[in-house]
Amino acid sequence: MPYSLREDEKLEEKISIDILRRLFRYLKPYKKEILIVLFFIFVVMTVDLANPYLMKIAIDRFIKNKDPKGLITVGFIVLLLNLISALCAKKRTERIAKITHRIILNIRQDLFNHVQKLSFAFFDERPVGKILARIIGDVNSLTNLFNMSVTNLIPDTFTIIATATIMFYLNAKLASYGLLMFPFLLITLFSIQTISRRRWQLVRKKNSTLNAFTHENYSGIRIIKYFNAENYRKNIFTELAWDVRQAFVRAVRINDLFWPMVEFSWGVGSIITFYFGIKMIKSGSITVGLLIAFSNYIAMFWRPIMNLSNFYNNLVTSMASAERIFEIMDINPNIVEDEEAVELDIKGEVEFKNVSFSYDGKKKVLEKVSFKVYPGERIALVGHTGAGKTTIVNLICRFYDPDEGEILIDGVDIRKIKLESLRRQLAVMFQDTFLFSGSIMENIRYGRLSASDEEVINTAREVYAHDFVVSLEKGYDTRVQERGLRLSTGQRQLVSLARTLIANPKILILDEATASIDTHTERLLQKGIEKLLQGRTSFIIAHRLSTIQNADRIFVIENGKIVEEGNHEELMKKRGIYYNMFISQFKLWSEEKEIVS
């Protein structure tokens, strides 16, 4: 079911451990680097653990016995160890930052590549903004997770275990007092985990919806301004932004419980330790140095707990993003290349055998369509909007597979042809021409990336685009914005025509390529198209029937079926649907001409 801009995506609930396992697979290529980081972490952790014990020695042995030389020696050892620790901490931070950013790059690249492989059906169901939110926002949110998983999770876990072990080794009874609040904290943290995870999922969904709306808004800014709809769109944006804010506040309220609970447990544990510790000093069970060392070890025990709670918060937040990323990566393309698919040097014969197709699995757009087109033939597809014209060419390009029947090219089932081989020899020129940000030279070269500058220029000359290109300030190096907005509609179509010709396709599809342009440019475009059509099998979708009178055959499509077939003269003699459409357009054209004159 398609997602609207205002509708949040539905995500399946997945086991967190499975998602974590998938995430941490990205760490495998960096085992050596991670081992080096862990070595630096081990050094820092060892020094931190040694500091309180060295303090105990300094107090109980050297201060108590008034031994300044021993005290200076311990001080020098502490200084040296902490300098080494600081250096290792710096190296650890540098290396983990490099590893994390490489991993994020790999995840983003994998997601981008996977999305490019997905079928048109995937893009039909989702606004572009929501896809961008996955590739940019959700992937970025994983940065802290990978960073903290190495720098916090592993060392802090070992620090907690090592600190507890040392405390029980020094005095089991005092250690029990110090850690009395630990079970209470664990129960509290786990009890709020589920709520926190769901709330952060909702934050990511609301952000995605806002991102999709913003993308659509600025893509259609001209329409918004034409119809004076700024206030209407502003109100929608405000509503969506408020939804994000509300979801974030609810998530943060849960997150804010973590640190206070840790600090409360730490504080109560410290009070209990000092209360019983002072009694034990008076009874001679422990020394002052041991109690001071214990106070430091208690801090060392609870500080990693705080770090781990912060990591846990980040984990909960990141899990929502990870679920959204893997939800996309788990989608399989509808169009899959057969294992036995072959390269095919296309001659241009196209045949439909009882082809039926539906976009939604319910309403048939094509039903039992059959025809055969011979190499070099010009076929025009005409019919009312929604009749099935564009669907036919989408199936030829194998953007979708038919529900029933076969599509053959040169007698080979289209599903048995390698996708790259098929699409390399097809070219489509749309009415709504899309140009990429970059130079005109680069946009023409998209038709064949290996083309030289000279080939690009010669191709532009062949389709009468060269004159307008060289008249621009920087000629072929002129930069165009996204969708080519700096060029007129006719100029964009001439660039598109050059891009199509340089691809040297065997099968050509023109979707009303001469619409919405001035008469002079249309004449140039028609001459260029005539050049392009020579010797190629072509399918021309036309709404203006005057442009297809020279077609070898015309297919009239109604309700997903070919109801009439023949050339212009044959169909006019039949006085059927085509005849009525042509006469209707001719009358309308005559009336418009009369009004103008």
Asked whether residue 169 is domain-assigned, the answer is yes
Distance (Å, whole) CA 118 – CA 335: 8
Residue 182 — very low, low, confident or very high, per pLDDT cuts 50/70/90?
confident
What number is the average pLDDT over the span 101-123? 86
* Confidence (pLDDT) at 222: 66
From residue 283, give the alpha-carbon distance in Å to each of 64, 176, 290, 344.
Answer: 18, 18, 14, 93
Check pLDDT > 90 for residue 353.
yes
Residue 351 — very low, low, confident or very high, per pLDDT cuts 50/70/90?
very high
What number is the average pLDDT over the span 149-175? 82
Same domain, 295 and 400: no
Same domain, 415 and 447: no
* Confidence (pLDDT) at 518: 58
Strand partners, 540: 380, 510
Range list of H helices, 382-465: 389-396, 419-424, 440-445, 453-462
Asked whether residue 524 is domain-assigned, the answer is no
Q: Are 480 and 468 in contact (CB under 8 A)?
A: no
CATH number of the CATH domain containing 488: 3.40.50.300
Residue 383 — very low, low, confident or very high, per pLDDT cuts 50/70/90?
confident
3-state SS class at 552: coil
What are the structure tokens assigned to 208, written together? 């995605």
Check pLDDT > 80 for residue 108.
yes
- Per mean pLDDT, which range of 24-28, 162-166, 305-309 is the poorest? 305-309
Asked whether residue 232 is domain-assigned, the answer is yes
Domain end marker among 308, 329, 350 = 329
Please count the CA atoms within 13 angstroms of the CA of 481 that sit on its side-chain side: 5
Check pLDDT > 80 for residue 597.
no
- Look up tokens 């990566």; give the residue: 329
Check pLDDT > 50 for residue 285.
yes
Check pLDDT > 80 for residue 346.
yes
* Confidence (pLDDT) at 6: 52
Same domain, 143 and 159: yes
Residue 584 — very low, low, confident or very high, per pLDDT cuts 50/70/90?
confident
Q: Are 522 and 538 in contact (CB under 8 A)?
A: no
* Confidence (pLDDT) at 377: 92
* Confidence (pLDDT) at 119: 79
Q: Are 546 and 353 in contact (CB under 8 A)?
A: no
Check pLDDT > 60 for residue 12.
no
* Confidence (pLDDT) at 531: 78
What number is the average pLDDT over the span 171-178? 85
Distance (Å, whole) CA 572 – CA 583: 9
CB atoms under 10 Å from CB of 580, counted, come to 10
- Per mean pLDDT, which range of 184-188, 288-292, 368-372 is the poorest? 184-188
Distance (Å, whole) CA 416 – CA 408: 9
Residue, of 134 and 372, whose pLDDT is higher: 372
Domain end marker among 329, 356, 377 = 329
Same domain, 258 and 347: no
Distance (Å, whole) CA 330 – CA 311: 26
Distance (Å, whole) CA 474 – CA 237: 39
Strand partners, 409: 350, 412
* Confidence (pLDDT) at 515: 54
Same domain, 56 and 184: yes
Residue 516 — very low, low, confident or very high, per pLDDT cuts 50/70/90?
low
Contacts of 465 by beta carbon, 8 Å cutoff, 6+ apart: 491, 494, 495, 497, 498, 528
Check pLDDT > 60 for residue 269.
yes
Residue 193 — very low, low, confident or very high, per pLDDT cuts 50/70/90?
low
Q: For the range 330-337, what are the long-range contacts, defined as Cβ-Cβ under 8 Å and sequence gap of 24 or more?
A: 331/118, 331/122, 333/117, 333/118, 333/119, 333/122, 334/119, 334/121, 334/122, 334/400, 334/401, 335/119, 335/398, 335/399, 335/400, 335/401, 335/419, 337/418, 337/419
* Confidence (pLDDT) at 504: 86
What number is the average pLDDT over the span 190-198? 71
* Confidence (pLDDT) at 7: 54
In 3D, which of 320, 203, 196, 202 has the Cα closest to residue 261? 196
Same domain, 369 and 221: no
What are the structure tokens assigned to 493, written together? 């179509």
Containing domain of residue 562, as a range?
Answer: 337-425+507-514+535-592
- The domain tally of the chain equals 3
CATH number of the CATH domain containing 61: 1.20.1560.10
Radius of gyration of the chain (CA): 35
* Confidence (pLDDT) at 593: 47
Contacts of 457 by beta carbon, 8 Å cutoff, 6+ apart: 466, 476
Same domain, 323 and 461: no
Check pLDDT > 70 for residue 472.
yes
Same domain, 52 and 188: yes
Q: Classify each residue of 391-417 as buried b or exposed e, where b means 16 or more C-beta atoms within 10 Å of its C-beta.
A: bbbbbbbbbbebeebebbbeebebbeb
Distance (Å, whole) CA 560 – CA 389: 8
Check pLDDT > 80 for residue 65.
no
pLDDT tens digits for range 208-229: 788 778 877 877 776 777 667 7
Same domain, 168 and 269: yes
What are the structure tokens assigned to 23, written together? 């995430």
Pairing of strands 412-413, 364-373: unpaired
Q: What is the pTM of this model?
A: 0.68
Distance (Å, whole) CA 486 – CA 472: 11
* Confidence (pLDDT) at 375: 93
What are the structure tokens assigned to 323, written together? 């679920």
Segments of 3-109 assigned E as strands: none
Domain end marker among 294, 329, 364 = 329
Check pLDDT > 60 for residue 562.
yes
Segments of 255-393 assigned E as strands: 350-358, 364-373, 378-382
What secondary structure letter does DSSP report for 367?
Answer: E
* Confidence (pLDDT) at 373: 94
* Confidence (pLDDT) at 159: 82
What number is the average pLDDT over the span 120-139? 78
Same domain, 180 and 39: yes
Asked whether residue 103 is domain-assigned, the answer is yes
Check pLDDT > 80 for residue 547.
no
From residue 276, give the alpha-carbon distance in Å to each of 6, 60, 265, 269.
Answer: 60, 19, 17, 11
* Confidence (pLDDT) at 117: 84
Same domain, 484 and 349: no
* Confidence (pLDDT) at 569: 92
Asked whether residue 208 is domain-assigned, the answer is yes
Asked whether residue 521 is domain-assigned, the answer is no
Q: How high is the mean pLDDT of the chain?
A: 82
Asked whether residue 4 is domain-assigned, the answer is no
- Look up tokens 């660039």; give the residue: 495
Asked whether residue 527 is domain-assigned, the answer is no
Share of the chain above pLDDT 70, in %: 90
Residue 150 — very low, low, confident or very high, per pLDDT cuts 50/70/90?
low
Same domain, 242 and 366: no
Check pLDDT > 60 for residue 5.
no
What number is the average pLDDT over the span 37-49? 86
Distance (Å, whole) CA 166 – CA 52: 11
Check pLDDT > 70 for residue 520.
no
* Confidence (pLDDT) at 16: 65
* Confidence (pLDDT) at 590: 56
Q: Classify each residue of 99-120 as buried b or exposed e, where b means 16 or more C-beta atoms within 10 Å of its C-beta.
A: bbeebbeebbeebeebbeebbe
Q: Are 398 and 335 in contact (CB under 8 A)?
A: yes
What number is the average pLDDT over the span 170-180? 85
